[in-house]
Structure 1
């Protein structure tokens, strides 16, 4: 005797639908009612056709036009745009999405740099999503700025097809790369016997890194990808040792000409990264190795996660620091950076 197999089909709810599918079902309900079907019959037909559970009361309200399911859904454009590409770049790095118990579809970012948080909030605002920004203190880790926005359409896009996501992002490559490198990228400086400037980005998704490398190539920026470490590798984060649950890859921009092009075309939103990169480029451009190394060590000291500015250096105000940032002119070899004059004394 063949055992009886019961197939349990989990019915979807209205909140499980994306906007396009919801709109299609609403129109289908109205069409069925206009054909003379009963409300109960429409409930069964929608269940069979779309695997969606509707109540009879919902069908009545939709048919009579007394209620629209779109009243609580903020409609935004999912067409290619600079803001959407930047948001996708951030999401594929530090960004996250989750659905709260109250039905809110949340897109969130937590970072240590105010400028980065503000840029992400501005991108959400320009897309039509109200963003909330704040600062949280956490005794277990570094204090961070957070940005949070809620929109079902954006949530569905980010959690959906990776192919569609990358296709949209690629329409505005500079903005996508800006968002990705704001999240995952950093300048790396070697100041030993020689002085070298590179840019790197770390991510566990090799497909994403390969896409990033492809877009960099379109902009004339060369890069290479290698495995940083394998799953199971022991890593130390904020003094605690963990075992990595994924393979990790790193993308390098190593040729100095490529690094300079990256700084001109893309750069970093966070001022601490941008200032470090531009100061290193200035030294590399205008001084021999030995002097570049000496000047660098006068201004930066080696920390646990790379070079950081020395605490005793005078720093100008934020507005002053922003002059000459991405899109502006390069500092001259005689310029003052972090209040330190690098010019040769006359005589």
Structure 2
């Protein structure tokens, strides 16, 4: 078991015990052995060194984190297995949780959840970058190491996700997934929950979706390690790992996924709402024609023409 994943009150007990053993003259090695024997927690020498040489405050510190399952933590963990990242600046001793994405509402929701997890009175500031992206950064050494430990041992993740599975899946979907409608022959909805090289993650998502929501999905390999992935400035980039995709098995399951899991990204939800509006009122063929009045295609994606009510597009139909 990892120290970072146990509740804060238990961490405080271990922390106090470590200092008690130090006062009794035990060496780093003996302290580590004693804690492992008594609590079944393996501490590292670097952790003890940091505690002894810095004014560490576990309870009530500025950025303290209590590892208790919650909807907000589950969503944050979902994002961290997608677009989110943990970073450490050694020079500044800055332990950070970051997200950068093109959707402002996605980044704002992540900021809200991280702020709630870290007991902040206000949300972390969301900034617009020079690349027309939105970014947010939260600071907490404890949350940093907590997330790091879950990424290193996937089994530790599950006890924090199981009580709030929808939020975890939503976090992954917002990061790595797509809600897509295609009007080729007739209007059809597809939901891709995630594309990832992390096969263990996708299998777990598949299990969560079926076990908790009876949503059926299909898992497939979309790219193979070694194949050309992209060309950047004339440089050929080859994949180092296989890429897999988890998708709702059909349109009925895609609709269920949108209704039961949802998304914090308004453009994704709007696409689903427009699809439902058209499918309830028109034939599939008519809906496909109308879709192309409301959306235009850019590359592989259908982009809404503006934020007007869907009714305004249908006046001339």
Q: Do both share a fold (TM > 0.5)?
A: yes
Corresponding residue to 1:250 among 229, 245, 253: 245
Corresponding residue to 1:228 among 211, 219, 222: 222
Q: Is 2:190 aligned against 1:198?
A: yes
* Residues 238-285 of structure 1 deviation map (CA, whole Å, 9 limit, x = unaligned): 887532222111111142221222221122211111111221233233
1:133-144 to 2 correspondences below 5 Å: 133-138=126-131, 143-144=132-133
**Higher radius of gyration, 1 or 2:** 1
Alignment-derived partner of residue 176 in structure 1: 168
Mean CA deviation greater in 68-77 or 171-180 = 68-77
Whole-Å separation in 1 of the counterparts to 2:56 and 2:135 = 33
Alignment-derived partner of residue 117 in structure 1: 107
Q: Tell me if the contact between 1:157 and 1:165 (Cα under 8 Å) persists in the aligned partners.
A: no
Corresponding residue to 2:83 among 94, 97, 105: 94
Unaligned runs of 5+ in 2: 35-42
Whole-Å separation in 2 of the counterparts to 1:159 and 1:51 = 15
The DSSP-based 3-state class of the residue aligned with 2:245 is strand
Alignment-derived partner of residue 294 in structure 1: 289
The DSSP-based 3-state class of the residue aligned with 1:340 is helix
The DSSP-based 3-state class of the residue aligned with 2:178 is strand
Alignment-derived partner of residue 303 in structure 2: 308
Alignment-derived partner of residue 13 in structure 1: none
Whole-Å separation in 2 of the counterparts to 1:48 and 1:94 = 38
The DSSP-based 3-state class of the residue aligned with 2:191 is strand
Deviation at 1:24, TM superposition (A): 2.4
Tell which has more relative contact order, 1 or 2 (C-alpha 8 A, sep 6+): 2
Alignment-derived partner of residue 337 in structure 1: 310
The DSSP-based 3-state class of the residue aligned with 1:297 is helix
Mean CA deviation greater in 228-237 or 216-225 = 228-237
Deviation at 1:76, TM superposition (A): 2.3
Whole-Å separation in 1 of the counterparts to 2:311 and 2:99 = 29
Alpha-carbon distance change, 238 to 199 in structure 1, aligned in 2, over 3 angstroms: farther
Alignment-derived partner of residue 319 in structure 1: none
Q: Tell me if the contact between 1:97 and 1:107 (Cα under 8 Å) persists in the aligned partners.
A: yes
* Number of residue pairs the alignment of both structures matches: 291
Alignment-derived partner of residue 95 in structure 2: 105
Whole-Å separation in 1 of the counterparts to 2:140 and 2:261 = 28
Whole-Å separation in 2 of the counterparts to 1:90 and 1:75 = 20
Whole-Å separation in 2 of the counterparts to 1:119 and 1:129 = 15
Deviation at 1:116, TM superposition (A): 0.3
Alignment-derived partner of residue 323 in structure 1: none
Structure with greater helix share of residues = 2
The DSSP-based 3-state class of the residue aligned with 2:45 is coil
Whole-Å separation in 1 of the counterparts to 2:261 and 2:206 = 13
Alignment-derived partner of residue 69 in structure 2: 80
Deviation at 1:166, TM superposition (A): 2.8
Q: Tell me if the contact between 2:178 and 2:268 (Cα under 8 Å) persists in the aligned partners.
A: yes
The DSSP-based 3-state class of the residue aligned with 2:203 is helix
Q: Tell me if the contact between 1:129 and 1:151 (Cα under 8 Å) persists in the aligned partners.
A: no
Unaligned runs of 5+ in 1: 1-16, 62-66, 317-335
| TM-score normalised by structure 1 residue count | 0.74
Whole-Å separation in 2 of the counterparts to 1:69 and 1:244 = 43
The DSSP-based 3-state class of the residue aligned with 1:242 is strand
